[in-house]
Amino acid sequence: MSWHSVPQDSLRPPPPADPELLPTQAIHDHPEFRAMRRAHRSFGARAATLGVGGYLLYVLLSGFAPGVLNRPLAGRMTLGLALGLAQFVVLALVAWRHTVHMRGRVDPVARGLRAQLDRRRAEQPSLPGRRRYRSW
């Protein structure tokens, strides 16, 4: 039997008989979880754009406009050296803002959703033969 002759519907797992058996799916559909993911992704996209964009600008300037980067600023300090050192500052600021963002907007929602998930799992009857793993 060829892979192409298998109907696509037979490749998908069957839907659960009881949606309460999958509390994680209920959490994934929760509006707070979606808002938390959106906040995390939008911040991540902005932070990555800032970090990678700044570095890409520095590389492009060094490759296509070396005269600009060789301009002296003070003593032996050139614009290129100052921009190269500024990359460390930018990355440190991005890391700091990421920590602040996660502590302020993502972690409280994640803790609340984790508590909901733990409550649902505690209320759920334990199935025989079902292994439970500890969370981190």
Stretch among 16-30, 65-79, 120-134 having the lowest mean pLDDT: 16-30
Given a cut of 50, whether residue 19 has pLDDT beyond it is no
Stretch among 13-22, 79-88, 100-109, 110-119 having the lowest mean pLDDT: 13-22
Q: Give me the pLDDT at residue 82, please.
A: 93
Distance CA 61, CA 81 (A): 12
Distance CA 90, CA 33 (A): 30
CB 117 within 8 A of CB 20: no
Q: Is the pTM of this model over 0.85?
A: no
Q: What percent of the chain shows pLDDT beyond 70?
A: 74
Q: Give me the pLDDT at residue 7, please.
A: 53
Q: Looking up tokens 């938390």, which residue turns up?
A: 36
